[in-house]
Amino acid sequence: MLYIKDLRSGLPIFKALGSDIRLAILDLLAQHQSLNLNDLAKALQLTNGAITMHIKKLEESGLIEVTTAVGRHGIQKLCYLSEEKLMVDLRSKELENLYEVEIKVGHYSDYQASPTCGLATKDSIVGDFDDPRYFADPGRIDAQMVWLTEGYLEYRIPNYIKAHQTFKEIQFSMELSSEAPGYNNNYPSDIFFYLNGHEIGSWTCPGDFGDVRGKYNPDWWPPHVNQYGMLKLIRITEDGSYIDGCRISDVTLAQIGIDDKSDLQFRIEVGEKSRNRKGLTLYGKHFGNYKQDLLVRVLYSEPYAS
Domain boundaries, the chain: 2-81, 91-301
pLDDT, tens digit (0-9, with 9 covering 90-100), for 109-146 = 999 999 999 999 999 999 999 999 999 999 999 999 99
The contacts of residue 58 (CB under 8 Å, 6+ apart) are 16, 22, 25, 26, 64
Q: Residue 306 has what pLDDT?
A: 44
Low-confidence ranges of the chain (pLDDT < 50): 93-94, 305-306
**Residue 256 and residue 236 in contact, taking contact as beta carbons nearer than 8 Å:** yes
Q: Say which residues have a Cβ less than 8 Å from residue 106's Cβ, sequence separation at least 6.
A: 119, 121, 126, 140, 141, 142, 143, 144, 146, 284
What is residue 76's predicted lDDT score, i.e. its pLDDT?
84
User: Considering the entire predicted model, what is its pTM?
Assistant: 0.77
pLDDT at 192: 98
**Tens-digit pLDDT profile for residues 143-153:** 999 999 999 99
2-81 topology per CATH: Arc Repressor Mutant, subunit A (1.10.10)
CATH, range 91-301: 2.60.120.260
Q: Do domains 2-81 and 91-301 have the same CATH topology?
A: no
Q: Within the chain, where are the H helices?
A: 11-17, 20-32, 37-44, 48-61, 253-256
pLDDT in tens, 239-262: 999 999 899 999 999 999 999 999
Q: What pLDDT does 71 receive?
A: 65
Per-residue burial over 223-262, b = 16 or more CB atoms within 10 Å of its CB, e = otherwise: eebbbbbbbbbbbbbeebbbbeeeebbebebeebebeeee
Number of residues assigned to the chain: 306
What is the β-pairing status of strands 264-270 and 150-157? antiparallel
Confidence at residue 224, expressed as pLDDT on a 0 to 100 scale: 93
Res 154: pLDDT: 98
Task: Please state whether beta strands 86-88 and 2-4 pair in parallel, antiparallel, or not at all (unpaired).
Answer: parallel
Q: How far apart are CA 62 and CA 261, in angstroms?
A: 38
100 strand-pairing partners: 297
